[in-house]
Structure 1
C-alpha cells in the first residue's frame, strides 16, 4: 500500500526473497478497468484533480484512502483527496498502516483513524510488519478492532495483510473483523476466505493516468458501502474516550474494568476544521485512553494551529480533540478557552 511495496518488488526480482516474496510476485493486469476493481490511494499517488476525481466516479465502485502511517504520520493528501471524491460522489473506505507496538498503541491508532475519518464507509487495519512477538501482535490486533467497533457501529472493519503474515501474527484475532482483505500478487487467486483480493500494484487507471494498487471485490459492493446503523453507546468493549478534569472524579461514568465500556460518557461531536491556539495559552491536555485517566502534561502552545477532529462537553465546559496539522500527531483534548475565537 505504500512505497515500501515497490521497493520490495525490486528486491524480490533481484534476489528472490522467500516468505513474503512468494505472495508478492510480479503479476500485473493488462485488461481494462471493470466495476469490481477497487483502488487504494495514499500520498504516493499524489493529489486528485477535479478531472481525475470525476473520472474515478465512473471507473471504480469505491476507493480506499490511507489516513495515517501509525499515529504520528498523517497522510499528506488525505484531506484534499477526501474532499475531491466527496465532491464527485465517490464512496470511500479508509485504512491505517499500523505501527502499533502494544495493545495501548493499537487502541490509539484505531481511535485516531476514526476521529480523522468519521464519515468513511468502512475501516481497515493494514498490518503487515512488526517487531512484536506473535502472541503480543495477536493481542494488539484484537485490541485495535475492539477499540474501533463501538465508534463505527455496523460499519465494516477489515483486516489487510498478506497470508503468511496474517497466519503468524493475526489469525486468532481475524474472527473479530468483518472481513479479510488479502494481499497476494499472484496469478492465481489464493483459496483463503477474503472479501477483497489485492492482486497487483501495476493496474493502469485511465482516470488517474498512472499505475496503482488494485483489488477485486469478492462480495457485493453494498456490503462495503451500504446503509449502516448508528453506532451504539453501550458495547462491551473499549469505550469512546472523553476529557476529564485532573482534580475531579467522573461520577457519571461506571467502568466494569480497564478494557470494558465506560457508560454514561458525554456525547462526542465529529468535526473537521483548523483552529489556532491562543499565543499565551497554557493549558492542561487531557488524554483519552480512559475517561478517568488524564495526561499529566501542561504545554504553552505559542499560537500553533491544530486540526480539530471532535468536540465534547464535560461539566458544562467544551473540549476539542486536537491533532497536529503537520505530523498528524495526537495532542489530546484541550479546553475551549485555550483557542482564539
Structure 2
C-alpha cells in the first residue's frame, strides 16, 4: 500500500470515529434525559401546556406536591397534575407533613387523599420536619400510613433526608412500600429505593433547576413506580418464609376456605390496614407460601399484600 493510500485511510478512519462518537454521545444524552425524576411544586410556577408537552420527553415520571400539611393546598397542584394526565406523563403526589400527633396525621392523610389526583401512580409522605407535640413521631408516621392504606391500594412511599428518617421514623418508615431518601453529598447508607441526589438538576422544558432523583434499587425499576407488566407487584413476589403470629394487610385481600385460592373459595374480604392473627405457615410445591388462621382459613404470605 502506498504512503498516500495509508494517509487517506487514516483520514477516513478518523472522520468515521468522530461521527460515531458524536452519534453515541447524542444517543447517551437523549437516554439520560429520560431518566430524570423531578419533584415539582408551586415554586416552579403554574405549568403551561407547552412546558408539559416538552417535559414528557425529558422525564421518566414526576413527583408533584399536593399539599403543605392539611391546611394548605399547593397553588398549582390541580393544574399541573391535570396537564400530566393530559400529556401522558406518569406522576405521584406528595404530602409535605406538618402533623402534630397520630390523630392529626390521620386527618392530614384524609385531606391529602381527598384532594389528590386519582391518576397518581403512588402517594408519598414527605416527612422532614418534626412538628409532633403529642405521642411519638413513629406513631404519627404509622397513623398516616395506616389511614392512607385504608383509602387506597396504591403504593405508599416514605420520603425524608437520611438523618431525619433514622432519628424520627426509623421503625414506621419500614412499613411503606418504598423509601425515597435525600442525601446530596453521597449515596444514602440506609435502605433507599429512590435517591434524591441533587437540588440543582437543570430541566430544559422548565428552564430552571429542580430537585431530582434516580433509582437505586434495581428490584424496583421505573416500571415498579409507574405500573406496567414488569412491576415488582406482579413479577417478583416475595414471601414470608418463617412463622409469625400476625400480619397486617397492605392491600385488600381475601381469606379462603381452601388452599387453592380460587375465587369460589373466598369467604372473607379483608380491608387494607387490618391485623390478622395467623397460626401456621405452609409452602406449596410451586414455591409460594400461605398462612393458616386458627379457624382453618387461609391467606397469602406475599409481602406485597401483607406485612
Both proteins in one fold, TM over 0.5: yes
2:178 corresponds to which residue? Answer: 179
Question: Taking structure 1 as the reference length, what is the TM-score of the superposition?
Answer: 0.57
1:145 corresponds to which residue? Answer: 145
Sort the Cα spacing of 1:116 and 1:44 in 2 relative to 1 into closer, same or farther, 3 A: same
Query: Any conservation in 1 of the 2:67–2:94 contact (CA below 8 Å)?
Result: yes
Q: CA deviation at 1:34?
A: 3.0
For 1:184-333, list aligned pairs within 5 A: 184-186=183-185, 188-218=186-216, 219-227=220-228, 232=252, 234-235=270-271, 237=273
Unmatched 5+ residue regions in structure 1?
1-30, 239-341
Larger Rg: 2
Distance of 1:140 and 1:190 partners within structure 2 = 24
1:20 corresponds to which residue? Answer: none
Question: Taking structure 2 as the reference length, what is the TM-score of the superposition?
Answer: 0.63
Q: CA deviation at 1:190?
A: 2.2
Note the aligned Cα RMSD (angstroms).
2.4
Q: Which has the higher contact order (CA 8 A, sep 6+)?
A: 1
Distance of 1:189 and 1:82 partners within structure 2 = 30
Query: Any conservation in 2 of the 1:135–1:169 contact (CA below 8 Å)?
Result: no
Distance of 1:135 and 1:37 partners within structure 2 = 38
1:258-295: CA deviations, max 9, x gaps?
xxxxxxxxxxxxxxxxxxxxxxxxxxxxxxxxxxxxxx
Query: Any conservation in 2 of the 1:65–1:94 contact (CA below 8 Å)?
Result: yes
2:86 corresponds to which residue? Answer: 87
Distance of 1:124 and 1:99 partners within structure 2 = 14
For 1:39-118, list aligned pairs within 5 A: 39-117=38-116, 118=118
Sort the Cα spacing of 1:35 and 1:192 in 2 relative to 1 into closer, same or farther, 3 A: farther
Sort the Cα spacing of 1:201 and 1:189 in 2 relative to 1 into closer, same or farther, 3 A: same
Query: Any conservation in 2 of the 1:134–1:169 contact (CA below 8 Å)?
Result: no
Which one has a larger percent strand, Structure 1 or Structure 2? 1
Which one has a larger percent helix, Structure 1 or Structure 2? 2
Distance of 2:44 and 2:164 partners within structure 1 = 25
Distance of 1:110 and 1:131 partners within structure 2 = 15
Unmatched 5+ residue regions in structure 2?
1-28, 235-250, 253-268, 275-307
Query: Any conservation in 2 of the 1:157–1:177 contact (CA below 8 Å)?
Result: yes
Query: Any conservation in 1 of the 2:149–2:272 contact (CA below 8 Å)?
Result: no
